[in-house]
Amino acid sequence: MSATLELAKKLIACASITPHDAGCQGLLAQRLLALGFQGEQMNFGEVDNIWLRRGQKPPLFVFAGHTDVVPPGPPDQWLTDPFTPEVRNGLLYGRGAADMKGSLAAMVTACEHFINVHSDHPGSIAFLLTSDEEGPAINGTIKVVETLQARGEKIDYCLVGEPTSQKQVGDMIKNGRRGSLGGRLIVRGIQGHVAYPHLADNPIHSLAPALAVLCAQTWDQGNKDFPPTTFQISNIQGGTGATNVIPGEVEILFNFRYSTEVTHQQLQQQMEEILSQQRLNYELEWTLSGKPFLTAPGSLMTAVSQAVRGITGIDTEFSTTGGTSDGRFIAPTGAQVVELGPVNATIHKVNECVAVADLETLSRIYSRILEILLTE
């Protein structure tokens, strides 16, 4: 069994459903402390975070990742227990195999290989690990970054181990992410009997024209780095459950995934104008999960491209598609940030898995990136 596979299996065996770490960070720290890293626990609330650093001089290269996983879903739909890792037909099964315990294992073994060859390497290497990425993400990476900034620790390069690959490890890398702006809209009417609609005010009927406008709206055209901004309704709820009662209110949850062509303030203003034009009696709450970020071509993107090409023989594609990641908290500090991890076809699904061979490929890519940035 390879060192990367062995470590990945140990991590999967920890039932670290967000926001719980369940011992993952201890396993990783044990390996890194043996390499000369200095560890510092930074827990906030019920969230476990750890900062491990080797070296004090710039440039500072950071591996960032999360040890928490989403709930596994119905256990009877899994071929085996989701927290009992098992290899079948060259695939490692278990919750977190691809998102992102496989990446974490590859990061550690990459460091072990790199430091074994370059024990006196220039610069510094660090790990920023949290158990609050799959959850609210308010006591995890963002709090650690704030702590680092307050004491003047500057991250130069950051690689987040999110599963970005499509069909083959390294075929897609994220060098940015769209912003995420969510909201909760409540439209109020007057409850009444369906046989006497003139004595009531149906908020669902009132809201429908506004929803049609919102769904058809073009918010921007996007640009060469980002697709156009999208608006999606994720939940809608109204009514008492009875067929003969006009509801008194309706609630929708929605989300914007937005490009750098528009700000969250502009989106808020546009939506509120549309709602006001419909003369709705409404209440609106906003939640900004993260602003868009983009890493421009530079030394990190060049190093990652070279490493992927050298190990796999393919030319990678840089993209900003997909959901959010903790990179949104690190990029605003001025760090160059990319995300590179295994194939994402099974993440958050029943029977999540990762190819065993891909774990070794990923470890070699990570190690080569360190060599290019810190020794060449």
Catalytic residue numbers?
A: 68, 133
Q: Indicate the residue type of 293.
A: F
> Is 123:375 a contact under the CB 8 Å cutoff?
no
Q: Can you tell me the distance from the alpha carbon of 82 to that of 301, in angstroms, rounded to the nearest whole number?
A: 35
Give the contacts of 98 (CB within 8 A, at least 6 positions apart): 163, 341, 342, 343, 344, 345, 346, 347, 352, 353, 354
Q: What is the C-alpha separation between 185 and 208, in angstroms, rounded?
A: 13
161 in helix, strand or coil?
Answer: coil
Residue 336 parent element (H or E): strand 336-339
Q: What is the Cα 261 distance to its own chain's centre?
A: 22
Vertex 311: Cα angle to 117 and 326 (nearest 5): 85
Query: How far apart, in Å, are the Cα atoms of 253 and each of 39, 54, 152, 278, 358?
Result: 40, 44, 39, 19, 38
**What separation in angstroms does the CA of 202 have from each of 23, 109, 189?**
52, 60, 6
